[in-house]
Structure 1
């Protein structure tokens, strides 16, 4: 229907979380996985056994960064690594400027994001994308 915006409901969030968790389980990766809405608010979360304690915080920040920025958090990591160090202070609400946050796009609009932390950043992103693929 025109004018209606897609959004993540609890069933969507749980389906994404289950698929991401299954991917992490298959690879025996100890990670934390966060699913947020388009405002960066937590909808679903799990911290797998053997996940570093700090990954709880980092996964949520990566998800929030991807949701609010409407792009993968890796984009911000690349900007900073490219020498724009001042970007680290550009916005204090986006603390997850590391690869592993992936925005969820429906009909060209970001409706939320998944953030993962605990293994290599490229693997974090892989887990997030596996979760989103279930949507």
Structure 2
């Protein structure tokens, strides 16, 4: 039997490193301070599993769940959460908004390297515009794509 005729049975899935996740958290906190708020930051791997997390002392407790949800959503859909927010406004896609982990509010971005999603970044604690701005600044600071959708 010639196994060369069968399709591949697996593929390598790139994932963000712990060091890069930690650097993103630091960069978000620095950007958030410059914008004027304290942040909760969550970083997931490409499969949406939590890789790193940090919550500033004064952030509301609900912001922690929100940041994790934004990171999971961005990694799952490979699109920024503010873009997904626009998608779920469409009645044909609106049922997605009822998924218990989906957070379609600005501040979540897929983390991409060489065109492949390697994780998700979720920022919460400010207004959605502030969360987006801090996430974009951190991604750009570390050389990640800021397109997100």
* Alignment TM-score, normalising by the size of structure 2: 0.79
Kindly indicate whether residue 71 of structure 2 is the aligned counterpart of residue 57 of structure 1. no
Gaps of 5+ in 2: 1-10, 143-149
Match of 2:145 in 1: none
Residue 128 (structure 1) aligns with: 135
Deviation string 1:16-67 (CA, Å, 9 cap, x unpaired) is: 1111111112233022111111111111111113211100000000000000
Relative distance call for 1:5 and 1:107 in structure 2 (3 A) is farther
RMSD of aligned alpha carbons: 1.8
SS for the counterpart of 1:44 is strand
The 1:124/1:12 distance shift into structure 2, 3 A limit, reads same
Q: Shift in Å at residue 82 of structure 1?
A: 4.3
Q: Does the 8 Å CA contact 1:31/1:52 hold for their aligned counterparts?
A: no
Structure whose CA Rg is larger: 2
Q: Which residue does 2:122 correspond to in 1?
A: 115
TM-score between both structures, scaled by the size of structure 1 = 0.86
Moved over 6 A (4+): none
- CA shift, 1:93, in A, is 5.7
Could you tell me which runs of 5 or more consecutive residues in structure 1 were left unpaired when the two chains were aligned: none
Matched residue count? 131
Q: From 13, 23, 26, give the equivalent of 2:21.
A: 13
Deviations 1:62-111 (A, max 9, x none): 0000001011111221122344532313xx36421211101111111111
**SS of aligned partner of 2:84:** helix
2:113 aligned to which of 106, 109, 124? 106
